[in-house]
Amino acid sequence: MNEQASTASAASDEAAQYLTVNLGNEEYGVDILAVREIRGWTPVTRIPQAPSYVLGVLNLRGAIVPVLDLRLRFGLAREEYTATTVCVIVMVAGRQFGVVVDAVSDVVDVAPGAVRPVPDMGTTVDTEYLKGLTSVGERMVLLLDVDRLLQPQDAQMLEAALASPEVKAVA
Protein backbone atom coordinates (compact mmCIF):
# COMPACT_ATOMS: atom_id res chain seq x y z
CA MET A 1 0.00 0.00 0.00
CA ASN A 2 2.67 2.45 1.05
CA GLU A 3 4.67 1.72 -2.02
CA GLN A 4 1.73 2.38 -4.24
CA ALA A 5 0.95 5.62 -2.51
CA SER A 6 4.50 6.82 -2.89
CA THR A 7 4.65 6.01 -6.60
CA ALA A 8 1.38 7.81 -7.07
CA SER A 9 2.66 10.93 -5.40
CA ALA A 10 5.87 10.67 -7.38
CA ALA A 11 3.82 10.63 -10.55
CA SER A 12 1.91 13.71 -9.55
CA ASP A 13 5.21 15.53 -9.01
CA GLU A 14 6.03 14.90 -12.62
CA ALA A 15 4.67 17.02 -15.40
CA ALA A 16 1.24 16.03 -16.70
CA GLN A 17 0.72 16.07 -20.43
CA TYR A 18 -2.10 17.98 -22.02
CA LEU A 19 -3.42 17.92 -25.52
CA THR A 20 -4.12 21.49 -26.52
CA VAL A 21 -7.07 22.32 -28.70
CA ASN A 22 -8.20 25.55 -30.26
CA LEU A 23 -11.53 27.20 -29.84
CA GLY A 24 -11.67 30.51 -31.60
CA ASN A 25 -8.47 32.20 -30.54
CA GLU A 26 -8.34 30.53 -27.18
CA GLU A 27 -6.33 27.45 -26.38
CA TYR A 28 -7.56 24.72 -24.06
CA GLY A 29 -5.76 21.74 -22.57
CA VAL A 30 -7.28 18.28 -22.20
CA ASP A 31 -5.56 15.79 -19.90
CA ILE A 32 -3.93 13.42 -22.34
CA LEU A 33 -4.70 10.42 -20.17
CA ALA A 34 -8.40 10.97 -20.85
CA VAL A 35 -7.94 11.20 -24.61
CA ARG A 36 -8.70 8.01 -26.50
CA GLU A 37 -8.41 9.19 -30.06
CA ILE A 38 -8.77 12.12 -32.40
CA ARG A 39 -11.02 11.83 -35.43
CA GLY A 40 -12.04 14.10 -38.23
CA TRP A 41 -15.49 15.55 -38.16
CA THR A 42 -18.18 13.23 -39.46
CA PRO A 43 -21.90 13.80 -39.36
CA VAL A 44 -23.64 12.36 -36.31
CA THR A 45 -27.12 11.08 -35.61
CA ARG A 46 -29.18 13.60 -33.71
CA ILE A 47 -30.75 12.48 -30.44
CA PRO A 48 -34.21 13.66 -29.46
CA GLN A 49 -34.58 15.83 -26.35
CA ALA A 50 -30.84 16.39 -26.05
CA PRO A 51 -29.40 19.68 -24.86
CA SER A 52 -28.29 21.87 -27.75
CA TYR A 53 -24.58 21.25 -27.18
CA VAL A 54 -25.03 17.49 -27.62
CA LEU A 55 -24.82 17.15 -31.37
CA GLY A 56 -25.77 13.50 -31.48
CA VAL A 57 -24.18 10.09 -31.41
CA LEU A 58 -21.62 8.42 -33.61
CA ASN A 59 -20.48 4.88 -34.16
CA LEU A 60 -17.09 4.30 -32.60
CA ARG A 61 -16.22 0.76 -33.63
CA GLY A 62 -19.56 -0.53 -32.48
CA ALA A 63 -20.04 1.65 -29.42
CA ILE A 64 -22.62 4.43 -29.48
CA VAL A 65 -20.80 7.55 -28.37
CA PRO A 66 -22.37 10.97 -27.76
CA VAL A 67 -20.63 13.97 -29.27
CA LEU A 68 -20.77 17.43 -27.78
CA ASP A 69 -19.69 20.67 -29.30
CA LEU A 70 -17.33 22.59 -27.06
CA ARG A 71 -18.25 25.91 -28.60
CA LEU A 72 -21.93 25.38 -27.94
CA ARG A 73 -21.15 23.99 -24.51
CA PHE A 74 -19.43 27.27 -23.71
CA GLY A 75 -22.16 29.34 -25.25
CA LEU A 76 -20.18 30.44 -28.29
CA ALA A 77 -21.58 30.48 -31.78
CA ARG A 78 -20.86 27.41 -33.83
CA GLU A 79 -18.99 28.25 -36.94
CA GLU A 80 -18.85 26.12 -40.05
CA TYR A 81 -17.22 22.76 -39.68
CA THR A 82 -13.98 22.95 -41.62
CA ALA A 83 -11.20 20.61 -42.61
CA THR A 84 -9.51 21.23 -39.29
CA THR A 85 -12.59 20.61 -37.19
CA VAL A 86 -11.92 17.52 -35.14
CA CYS A 87 -13.64 15.33 -32.64
CA VAL A 88 -11.56 14.35 -29.62
CA ILE A 89 -12.80 11.16 -28.02
CA VAL A 90 -12.31 11.20 -24.28
CA MET A 91 -13.04 8.62 -21.66
CA VAL A 92 -14.16 9.74 -18.22
CA ALA A 93 -15.30 7.36 -15.51
CA GLY A 94 -15.79 4.51 -17.96
CA ARG A 95 -17.92 6.59 -20.32
CA GLN A 96 -16.72 7.75 -23.70
CA PHE A 97 -17.78 10.88 -25.43
CA GLY A 98 -16.56 13.05 -28.24
CA VAL A 99 -15.72 16.74 -27.98
CA VAL A 100 -15.80 18.80 -31.18
CA VAL A 101 -13.18 21.55 -31.31
CA ASP A 102 -11.89 23.85 -34.05
CA ALA A 103 -8.46 22.19 -34.20
CA VAL A 104 -5.91 20.31 -32.16
CA SER A 105 -2.57 22.00 -31.91
CA ASP A 106 -0.03 20.53 -29.56
CA VAL A 107 0.92 18.34 -26.64
CA VAL A 108 2.42 20.26 -23.75
CA ASP A 109 4.03 19.25 -20.48
CA VAL A 110 2.63 21.05 -17.50
CA ALA A 111 4.34 20.81 -14.13
CA PRO A 112 1.88 20.81 -11.24
CA GLY A 113 3.51 23.95 -9.88
CA ALA A 114 2.84 25.78 -13.11
CA VAL A 115 -0.94 25.53 -12.84
CA ARG A 116 -2.53 28.80 -11.71
CA PRO A 117 -6.08 29.33 -10.58
CA VAL A 118 -8.35 30.83 -13.19
CA PRO A 119 -9.15 34.46 -12.52
CA ASP A 120 -12.83 35.18 -12.65
CA MET A 121 -12.55 37.18 -15.82
CA GLY A 122 -10.89 37.24 -19.15
CA THR A 123 -12.40 34.03 -20.46
CA THR A 124 -15.60 33.48 -22.28
CA VAL A 125 -15.95 30.24 -20.42
CA ASP A 126 -17.62 29.58 -17.13
CA THR A 127 -14.71 28.83 -14.81
CA GLU A 128 -16.39 25.76 -13.40
CA TYR A 129 -15.28 23.75 -16.43
CA LEU A 130 -11.68 24.71 -15.86
CA LYS A 131 -9.08 23.20 -13.59
CA GLY A 132 -6.70 26.09 -13.95
CA LEU A 133 -4.52 27.86 -16.45
CA THR A 134 -0.91 27.67 -17.36
CA SER A 135 1.43 29.41 -19.72
CA VAL A 136 3.43 27.73 -22.42
CA GLY A 137 5.92 30.26 -23.67
CA GLU A 138 3.79 33.23 -24.63
CA ARG A 139 0.62 31.15 -24.92
CA MET A 140 -1.98 30.83 -22.25
CA VAL A 141 -3.59 27.39 -21.98
CA LEU A 142 -6.82 26.87 -20.08
CA LEU A 143 -6.90 23.40 -18.58
CA LEU A 144 -10.29 21.77 -19.06
CA ASP A 145 -12.02 19.74 -16.39
CA VAL A 146 -13.35 17.11 -18.83
CA ASP A 147 -15.32 15.34 -16.10
CA ARG A 148 -17.70 18.25 -15.93
CA LEU A 149 -18.41 18.68 -19.61
CA LEU A 150 -21.17 16.08 -19.69
CA GLN A 151 -22.30 17.45 -16.41
CA PRO A 152 -24.03 15.07 -14.07
CA GLN A 153 -26.26 17.67 -12.45
CA ASP A 154 -27.37 18.65 -15.93
CA ALA A 155 -28.16 15.10 -16.82
CA GLN A 156 -30.01 14.55 -13.59
CA MET A 157 -32.14 17.62 -14.06
CA LEU A 158 -32.99 16.53 -17.53
CA GLU A 159 -33.79 13.03 -16.45
CA ALA A 160 -35.97 14.27 -13.63
CA ALA A 161 -37.85 16.40 -16.11
CA LEU A 162 -38.32 13.53 -18.51
CA ALA A 163 -38.84 10.70 -16.12
CA SER A 164 -42.41 9.71 -15.68
CA PRO A 165 -43.70 8.22 -12.44
CA GLU A 166 -43.86 4.81 -14.12
CA VAL A 167 -40.28 4.91 -15.22
CA LYS A 168 -39.21 5.70 -11.69
CA ALA A 169 -41.32 2.93 -10.27
CA VAL A 170 -39.67 0.43 -12.56
CA ALA A 171 -36.22 1.68 -11.69
Partner 1 sequence: MSKVDLAQFHKAFHEESLDGLDAMEQALLALDEGADDPELINVVFRAAHSIKGGAATFGFTDVAAFTHVAENLMEEVRSGRRPMEKAVVELLLRSGDTVRDMLALSMAGKSAATADSQVLLAELSAMVSGGTAAAPAAAKVAAPAEAIEGWDIAFRPFDYLLKTGNDPARMFRELGALGPLRVECDAGKLPALADMDASSSYLGWTLHLDAGAKRAAVEGVFDWVDGDCDLSLTPRVAAPVPVAAAPTAPSAPRAVRDVTANSESSSVRVGIEKIDTLINLVGELVITQSMLSQFHDGVDASQLEMLRHGLAQLSRHTRELQESVMSIRMLPISTVFNRFPRLVRDLAQKLDKKVVLDLRGETTELDKTVLEKIGDPLVHLVRNAIDHGLEGPARRLAAGKSDTGTLRMEAFHRGGSIVVEVADDGAGLNRDAIVAKAVQRGIITSGDGMSDEAVAELIFEAGFSTAAATTDLSGRGVGMDVVRRNVMDLGGTVGIRSTQGSGTTFTITLPLTLAIIDGLTAAVGEETYIVPLVSIVESVQVKPDAIRSVAGGGELFRFRDHWLPIVRLFDVFGCDGRRLAIDEGIVIVVEGEGTRIGLFVDELIGQQQAVVKSLEANYRRVAGISGATILADGSVALIADVTGLVRMQGRKKAA
On whether the CB atoms of residues 96 and 67 are closer than 8 A, the answer is: no
Give the residue ranges of DSSP H helices in 14-85. Answer: 70-73
Q: How far apart (Å, rounded) are the C-alpha atoms in residues 84 and 102?
A: 6
Toward partner 1, which CB reaches closer, 7 or 135? 7
Site string for partner 1, 49-78 (x = CB under 8 A): xx---x-xxxx-xxxxxx------------
* Gyration radius from the chain CA atoms: 18
Q: Does 108 bind partner 1 (CB under 8 A)?
A: no
Furthest CA-CA distance within the chain: 57
Q: DSSP secondary-structure letter at 74?
A: T
Stretch that binds partner 1, among 6-14, 38-46, 106-114, 130-138 (CB under 8 A): 38-46
- Cα-flanking dihedrals φ and ψ of residue 32, to 5°? -70, -20
Stretch that binds partner 1, among 29-37, 39-47, 105-113, 131-139 (CB under 8 A): 39-47
Q: Which of residues 96, 105, 123, 127 is near partner 1 by CB under 8 A? A: 96
Q: Which of residues 5, 43, 77, 83 is near partner 1 by CB under 8 A? A: 43
Q: Which of residues 30, 34, 44, 133 is near partner 1 by CB under 8 A? A: 44
Cβ within 8 Å of residue 145, ≥6 positions away: 128, 129, 130, 131
| Site of interaction with partner 1 (CB under 8 A) | 3, 43-50, 54, 56-59, 61-66, 95-97, 155, 158-159, 162, 164, 166, 170
